[in-house]
Structure 1
Amino acid sequence: MLRQAIKRVTVALQPSHMIISRQSSSVSSAINSIVLKSLKEHYLEVSKLSPPPKVNPPAPFTVIKGSLDSTGPVLKRNYGEEEISLYVMRLANITSGGVGDDADESENGINQLFLHVDISKPGQKESLHFLCGLYPDAIGIHSVSMRPKLDNAASGFLHIPTKYHGPDFQDLDERMRDALHGYIEERGINEALFHFLQAWLYVKDHRNLLRWFRSIGQFVDDQKKSTVAASTG
């Protein structure tokens, strides 16, 4: 008798459980459709944006093939026996929630850049590294350090040094600061690089955003198909 009672309860509960499951699947599918529609609309909107006019890097720098799809160096050149590689990224805004000119500047362009300058020589295990702030009309050195030499073909970005990497640049006397500025300027590291790197970062950001929309959409779409398959199984 007990077994028969349990069987009756199980049969009675089953239709209700199936209804709840189908309702849940329906809601999930509807939400996925909304997300996919929004992603598609934004993707199409971003894809219509016009890229900036093509800008060539100042000679003798050349663009490293594949740099738009990696986190490695962007430009390189030789200076005598030295090999110089340039990495670039946005200059982080220290204060958030800016208004006025600062807010307009962050929305309308990439007007402040971090420039990593890696200078290596054959036969040496370490390279000389400059971290600079690059602007349309100026360049400033933030730090100078020795770092392990990197393979420029690698996709990884520069590693943060784990050993002592020198004093704060502003703690150096003016004569040494001027000498180090002259050192990098002699190698073509100056504000003339800004316009190319600004345009390059715009294109890279555009690619990354489109790639982000596609990857999120593919994931949600796969999840939607899996949900539909499970509900009909």
Structure 2
Amino acid sequence: MPRVSPVLRKCRKALQDSDVLKVLQSEITHELCSNRFQNIQSGSLGDFLVEWDSSKSQDVVLRRKCELGEEVVVSAVLGPVTYGRDSVFPREVLMKVCLKKPGLSSILQFDCGVSDRGNAGSEFDIHNACYIQSSARVDSSAYRGPLFSSLDPQLQDALKEYLVSKGIGENLTNFLLLHLRKKEQGQYVNWLHKLESLVAKGE
């Protein structure tokens, strides 16, 4: 234990010498002043209500009840970072849409990706669609149906139109892109503030 204090003193001096505090403050200022989301179209929730949106989590969960009693639940999170030859591509949103008819325990589930088209707004593609017999027990080994891309193109279009009719349109996908990216930035800035506070205490 007697060695701990000298080690801490050396670490503190190293922090001071490398101006970590100034770097952190500069990064915070940059994040707060940058207007990186200016090219993302704003959207709206429409008839969806926010069911879950914790500042400590990365996802958001929305719920909507349709006129005929159908429930639509959307769970969305930013996808992984992807790299191209020279740069990082904008991250898409991974969106899961579940639809349940009143009085039934079965669920129709769609796994989708939302991509940013810049000034043209956003669009979503269905990656997978499956029918789950019971919402109480989801067996991961159960057959989930054929690959969505292998379905008849007219059926693919019809299923996408079905989702649009349930409120999964451009307004919602624009909202998700902007909201999740701002949420991630907010979490990053909060982390920088905590780090700045720790370094400042050390000095």
Question: What is the TM-score with the length of structure 2 in the denominator?
Answer: 0.70
CA distance in 2, matches of 1:117, 1:183: 12
Residue 26 of structure 1 aligns with an amino acid whose one-letter code is R
Residue 112 of structure 2 aligns with an amino acid whose one-letter code is C
CA distance in 1, matches of 2:52, 2:15: 34
What is the CA deviation profile of residues 120-175 of structure 1, one whole-angstrom value per residue up to 9, with x for unaligned ones? 3445444321111223353321101245649xxxxxxxx99443322210122234
CA distance in 1, matches of 2:46, 2:7: 61
CA distance in 2, matches of 1:144, 1:137: 21
Matches within 5 A, 1:11-26: 24-26=7-9
**Match status 1:27 vs 2:10:** yes
**Considering only CA atoms, is the larger Rg found in Structure 1 or Structure 2?**
1
What is the CA deviation profile of residues 50-76 of structure 1, one whole-angstrom value per residue up to 9, with x for unaligned ones? 5857945152234x1651523443433
CA distance in 1, matches of 2:180, 2:128: 23
**Match status 1:67 vs 2:46:** no
In structure 2, relative to structure 1, the CA distance for the partners of 1:137 and 1:27 (3 Å cut) is closer
Structure 2 match to 1:178? 157
What is the CA deviation profile of residues 7-64 of structure 1, one whole-angstrom value per residue up to 9, with x for unaligned ones? xxxxxxxxxxx8x8765443211234443443233223323345857945152234x1
How far did residue 93 of structure 1 move? 5.3
**Match status 1:98 vs 2:78:** no
Structure 2 match to 1:40? 25
Structure 2 match to 1:85? 73
Structure 1: gaps of 5 or more residues:
1-17, 151-158, 226-233
The farther-off stretch of 205-214 and 192-201 is 192-201
CA distance in 1, matches of 2:29, 2:196: 13
Matches within 5 A, 1:186-201: 186-201=165-180
> Would the aligned equivalents of 1:118 and 1:130 in 2 still touch at CA under 8 Å?
yes
Residue 162 of structure 2 aligns with an amino acid whose one-letter code is Y
CA distance in 1, matches of 2:139, 2:178: 26
**Match status 1:115 vs 2:95:** yes
Structure 2: gaps of 5 or more residues:
116-120
How far did residue 207 of structure 1 move? 1.0
Aligned length: 189
Question: What is the TM-score with the length of structure 1 in the denominator?
Answer: 0.63
Secondary structure of 1:41's counterpart equals helix
Structure 1 match to 2:113? 133
**Match status 1:164 vs 2:151:** no
Secondary structure of 2:60's counterpart equals coil
Secondary structure of 1:116's counterpart equals strand
CA distance in 2, matches of 1:175, 1:65: 33
Higher helix share: 1
Residue 111 of structure 2 aligns with an amino acid whose one-letter code is L
Q: Percent identity?
A: 22
